Structure 1
């Protein structure tokens, strides 16, 4: 039995080792005369296709890590008169109240120790030497200047919302909402 299998395998091997058959040449198609057209139609203009040229201007390099974009540390020299608010990061501070409607609105920020600090426009706040640029009804906007990896200094705006969970006064339940005589909501702190 094994002898037959061996002979069969040798036969397949010998047949498989043969040279391939030569390929037939393709015949050229015969040219037939085209019927004469009475009117020659104008040939459509050839549309020139513009070659695509990649321009990396204004695009992020996908092979450079995003984390290297900002250089650690502030871009501006630290203000020695900054006060206690400059020892905390902005995400550690909590906005607890805003008094708006004045020519110079005032906000109250609470640090992680539970101490309250009043801030106005221009007050230095945060470890990144940020300044309060706007005080709105439901949040304050702090602008910090960061140095990019290229050496360029760019402003980065950060919002501190009044509500700790990110809720605005409109999302609160109606019994907790104070309203003026005109129907305008009064933003109150917890």
Structure 2
């Protein structure tokens, strides 16, 4: 039984090897014969001449680019407006984006509410209502026990001014 299986397997492998080797032939296939020319066929008749073009050709339309009301296509979409040269800030709180600040604590009850935030560079700052914070010209509008509300004004590509209210929350206490 083993001998029969071995013999059958050998024959199958030999047949597969022969099929592969037959496909590796270096001879190029024969080119099909060119179609035989028809005998007794008449050459195609010459076409009738095209009708003459109209005497009046339409005047060439010249394109003129209208600049009024369009932005300059060679200026960047988000062009920086304002100060030129190095970036100068009114206070160091305007050096980072609003989401990079961490609210560490809020003091309420002794006059005006105040909050302490930590910048990404590790420095602490005390905030009160009306202080500018963030790169997007944010202004602190409200300080409560659990959050600070910051109002940011920005212009979109069409030039319209939008207002966005962001909040910085006090992180939840750990281990208590």
TM-score (normalised: structure 2): 0.48
Q: Which has the larger radius of gyration?
A: 2
TM-score, normalising length from structure 1?
0.45
